[in-house]
Structure 1
Amino acid sequence: MRFPPGPVCPKCRSANTEIFVSEGHGNVYSWIVVRHPIPAEVYASEVPYVVALIDLDDGTRMPGNIIDCEPEAISGGMRVELLFKDVTDDVSLPQFRPAL
């Protein structure tokens, strides 16, 4: 399994791939807190925000923002669940929040 999906396996180069639907639950592997936005004029109202790598229970590691949680409350191994933020009609971004 890999994210993002691609047309061939990056290890064996096989095109025999399939798409599966993840349950969307996992653990925080690593994270950073962004406090100095670049460019500042675009993202100043967004800080601080958290960018994390999440080890999903189904075996892939996926990046995304952690929302609905103060940055200081995040810890390695913390359980999270996946949701998507619609940015445009064609683009949705993965985000995670603490698991309920």
Structure 2
Amino acid sequence: MSEPINGNLMSDQIEGFAVCLVDAIERRGAMGCSLSRIDGGESRPFSVIVVRTFSNDYLGYVNRCPHESVRLNIGSGAFSSVDRSSDAAGTVQDSRSTL
């Protein structure tokens, strides 16, 4: 597990964390990672999603639906997208944009 995250993630100071090898996520794929952060003086789990775009950019998101307050993993660990489609490998199929 990585080092705990201290402070506000939305602050002007952005920190980077190595969570996996770059080739561990296929293009247009996603991987869930469990980090920890300090909250109220205690270490708490913090689930994130790392997405690799078709153009080889890596983006990180909090693994929580803002509407339902549940994790975005479904069934076997695949991630759902806006149109609720995904495949068994966890590839995100987003109908609004090309990842």
Shorter-chain TM-score tier? 0.3 to 0.5
Q: Comparing both chains, which one has the higher relative contact order based on Cα–Cα distances under 8 Å and sequence gaps of 6 or more?
A: 1
Structure having the larger proportion of residues in helix: 1
Q: Whose radius of gyration is greater, 1 or 2? A: 1
Query: TM-score, with normalisation over the residues of structure 2?
Result: 0.32
